[in-house]
Structure 1
Amino acid sequence: MTVGSQVKTTLASLKSAQASLESFALETQNQEAKKMFESAAQTTQTVVQQVESRVQQLENEEPQFKGF
């Protein structure tokens, strides 16, 4: 597995985790838990944006990684 594909796999996993956290926040009735899930989802979003930036950088440096 190449570095490019590993980074893209990680990005997909992060997006899945973020979606799960957002879903948990919507489903819970506990306000403390809701805030915790929302905060974790926001933190994950920041990481997703950073990793997406790295993916773009990889694709620009190594065109063979595009589309994986």
Structure 2
Amino acid sequence: MTIASNVKQCLFTLKGIEAQLSSFALNSLDDEAKKIFHETSLQIGDVKKDLQYRVLELERHEPQFKGT
């Protein structure tokens, strides 16, 4: 597996984690848990944005990684 493939797989996994944390935040009955799930989801969103930028950089510098 190439670096680009690994980074894209990590990004895909983070998107799933972010969605699951958001779901937990919406469905939790405990207010403190809701807050923690929401805050953690936002933190994962920041990491996701960084990885999305990295994917774009990889594709820009290494055209063979586009669309993989």
TM-score of the pair, normalised by structure 2: 0.98
Identity %: 44
Please show how residues 1-68 of structure 1 align to structure 2 within 5 Å.
1-68=1-68
Task: Please tell me the root mean square deviation across aligned C-alpha atoms, in Å.
Answer: 0.4
Question: Which amino acid counterpart does residue 46 of structure 1 have in structure 2?
Answer: D
Q: C-alpha deviations, 1:5-46, integer Å up to 9, x for none?
A: 000000000000000000000111100000000000000000
Q: Give the distance between the partners of 1:64 and 1:44, measured in 2 at CA.
A: 28
Aligned residues: 68
Q: Give the distance between the partners of 1:25 and 1:64, measured in 2 at CA.
A: 39
TM-score of the pair, normalised by structure 1: 0.98
